Amino acid sequence: MTLLQAMYIPPAVRGFESTAPAGAVFDVAWVGEHVTTIEPCAPGTEAQGLLLPTLVDLHLHLDKTHTVHETGAANGDLFRAIEMIAQHRETWTEADLRRRMERGLQACWRSGVRALRTHLDWMGSERPLSVKVLSDLRTQWRDRLDIQWVSLTALDQFDNTTWARGMALQVKSMGGILGCFIYRNDALKRKLQSVFELATELDLDLDFHVDEGLDVDAQGLRTIAELTLAHGWQGRVVCGHACSLSVQPIEQARDTLGLLAQANITLTALPTTNLYLQGSWSETPVQRGITRLQEARQMGVRTCIASDNVADPFFPYGCYDPLEAWALGVQMAHLAPAQDWLDTVTVAPAQAMKLAWDGRLAPGCPADFVLLSAHDGLQAMTPAGRHRRIHRQGHWL
């Protein structure tokens, strides 16, 4: 038996009942790969660390990563970033993709990530090279990382129904999830309707880039919620970004979020990329670009925070550490107390990815931990507090 003494376990990741006060600490014991007991320590025992389950990153772009030194950075212009990556995509080879994606996976692994979902651009008529490379890497990493992928296409491409069906069939056969990028498109509802028809016909989950901008009139999120309900696709849809929600009147935003809750849609905030791409670049920015996480949670929407782009024209900085994204999200969206939002990078994305373990720590769960130096949520907001040891499959890494 192995034992960790006096661990602070945030209530957001507890899968066990405890009458101990919120700040209580616990002794956690395990045998082999599974937790056996979690027992409260005597009142007043000082915490020796903050214990989390291993992390889950719900939204990445492994095909674009580590390109910024060749593309340059888009300095806040999303559509410029899309052009920059489109040009660079022409140069992608299997070897280059493998090297960059592998570098991303290594970084995830070292951060304490156990599962991740990446979007892969799918623009042309052929299946992109990145899908094959990812599929190889998924096999290679299967004992360490649970990897899911989503096709990322511009919504307008779904107007070409023959092309879209061919693409969706290949996504299905390669074990992917269907996705697209939606922003104030003409005939938005009709085009989204074809996406939902393909998803329901082929039994595919959906993951959208939606309303990634600060225009009040963006209606993608709301339309997706309505179509999810109309097609009975509850629990099968994830929406990332939804920046526009932050500039819409609060009553309207709450109304949309109510629909999301009803449709069991997961909402993913991407603080790093939103802070970089949204808001002014010609003067000091005032708008933050992050979606309404607080209201979403109040309305009962499953909320996640993820890393999104790393070292590409969309976000030239960054790293593959969900806890960095969490800490930025806490500051951008005034999420308090911070520890109550640690489920956004653990339990909530695990549920959205339908992983076998939802990430709640409890007797019987995997002994897969991230042990932080922090003794509480406030310290976890500091770089020193986020120093960590990772326990996976019976070993400290």
> Which residues are part of the catalytic machinery?
212
**Integer Cα distance of 181 and 154 in angstroms:** 5
List residues bridging with 181 in a β-sheet: 154, 209
**Integer Cα distance of 201 and 216 in angstroms:** 33
Q: Minimum CB separation from Zn ion for residue 38, in Å?
A: 36
CA-CA distances (angstroms) from residue 5 to 8, 89, 184? 9, 50, 53
- Residue ranges in 269-308 that form contacts with Zn ion under rule CB under 5 A: 308
Q: Minimum CB separation from Zn ion for residue 289, in Å?
A: 13
The three-state secondary structure class of 281 is coil
Q: Which two tokens stand for residue 53?
A: 């389950």
The string of DSSP codes covering 9-20 is: --GGGB-S---S
Structural contact between residues 390 and 53, judged by C-beta atoms closer than 8 angstroms: no
In the complex with Zn ion, which residue's Cβ is closer, 211 or 308? 308
End-to-end Cα, the chain, rounded Å: 18
Q: Minimum CB separation from Zn ion for residue 78, in Å?
A: 10
The residue of the chain with the least Cβ separation from Zn ion equals: 308
In the complex with Zn ion, which residue's Cβ is closer, 308 or 321? 308
The three-state secondary structure class of 391 is strand
Query: Any idea what DSSP says for residue 339?
Result: G
Q: Minimum CB separation from Zn ion for residue 371, in Å?
A: 30
Q: What residues contact 246, with CB distance under 8 A and at least 6 apart?
A: 214, 253, 287, 288, 289, 290, 291, 292
In the complex with Zn ion, which residue's Cβ is closer, 316 or 366? 316
In the complex with Zn ion, which residue's Cβ is closer, 57 or 308? 308
In the complex with Zn ion, which residue's Cβ is closer, 9 or 152? 152
Q: What is the dihedral of CA 298, 304, 310, 315, to 10 degrees?
A: -20
Helix residue ranges per DSSP H, the chain: 68-71, 78-89, 94-111, 129-140, 161-173, 188-202, 220-230, 250-262, 271-277, 293-298, 322-332, 347-352
In the complex with Zn ion, which residue's Cβ is closer, 28 or 115? 115
The string of DSSP codes covering 70-116 is: HH---TT-HHHHHHHHHHHHTT--HHHHHHHHHHHHHHHHHHTEEEE
In the complex with Zn ion, which residue's Cβ is closer, 308 or 368? 308
**Residue 369: CB atoms within 10 Å:** 26
The three-state secondary structure class of 343 is helix
Q: Minimum CB separation from Zn ion for residue 26, in Å?
A: 36
Q: If binding means CB under 5 A, how many residues of this protein chain bind Zn ion? A: 1
- Residue ranges in 301-360 that form contacts with Zn ion under rule CB under 5 A: 308
Q: Minimum CB separation from Zn ion for residue 211, in Å?
A: 13
Interface positions with Zn ion (CB under 5 A) = 308
